[in-house]
Structure 1
């Protein structure tokens, strides 16, 4: 049911976002405690503001009420993905070269299932990440299909 809700929400929101020149980053339909949450993350170059999130939320809420794909009570949240934005698509990777990223893998490469470092390139469906182990710099090549989760990573 969860994937059905996500797919329907994506179909309903895409025309709204196209009209407003916004990008869909992610949709989650999750249960936390006894409450259900439908979370929609949107973005654009330079970021989205609270007014844009409010407009999209209102329009999406009306479309969801009409389509009625969710039988349980739920909370709708529309927001920016924030500074640690998820990287979901190959396009996300290509657009974030030279950014600091955190990647979690389905299976280990060179004995590790997690890497954090600079995304130095992305081509032929492979991400190359430069990372440090103590003071030594290393690189790892990660096939896109081995990535379980990825996001931008904030460094201090």
Structure 2
């Protein structure tokens, strides 16, 4: 997996009149856009627009990459009654959030570590991560799957969905029914609404303080 990076840098354009004059502009540019066309250092410095990078910021994995990792690792853990509910990354650390119906033990976390670590060292999408962390998800973690909503049946949730014309819509309600492809919420005014899980951008338990 190639990290998406952005660099704070400087682009210098040579004068078209060969007068030795240069035009300087400081800005943020996507580093991968440069590296995609310039595979080595010599090509980069021969480029008309020279780029001087000051530092690199790691942005993280995409939703598709996260889902791919979950789909790959989840079946390996499911036989022990452990569910992989989410994956987080921070720099070189891969963090697995796991759930077990009867509660997690230290031995469960050690088992997951032993199963996943050998894969971490050889798999092309995971080899960039030098550290592995295993933890139980917090109450404010995102709800992603039908199982997530099933575990929180009876609780009030806040959901952001994709609406018409690619706009987003906020919905709040109590989870009353959960189906493989959709969840049914009862809103504050008493009306039920069905939400397709595939339309959900973000969903969390609504915490009352």
What TM-score, normalized to structure 2? 0.54
* 8 Å CA contact 2:98, 2:137 repeated in 1: yes
* 8 Å CA contact 1:47, 1:80 repeated in 2: no
SS at match of 2:191: strand
* Residue 61 (str. 1) matches residue 117 (str. 2): yes
Pairwise CA distance, 1:140: 4.8
Structure 2: runs of 5+ lacking an equivalent? 2-60
Pairwise CA distance, 1:80: 1.1
In the TM superposition, what whole-angstrom CA distance separates every residue of 1:32-90 from its partner, at most 9, and x where no partner exists? 5xx23322111011432344223312331123224454343543221111223432223
What residue number does 1:129 align with? 185
Write out aligned runs for 1:140-155 (5 A).
140-144=192-196, 145-155=198-208
Structure 1: runs of 5+ lacking an equivalent? none
* Residue 20 (str. 1) matches residue 80 (str. 2): yes
Picking from 96, 99, 124, the partner of 1:43 is: 99
Number of matched residues? 145
What residue number does 1:139 align with? 191
Larger CA Rg, structure 1 vs 2: 2
What residue number does 2:11 align with? none
Distance 1:90 1:99 in 2: 14
Distance 2:66 2:183 in 1: 31
Pairwise CA distance, 1:97: 2.3
* 8 Å CA contact 2:120, 2:127 repeated in 1: no
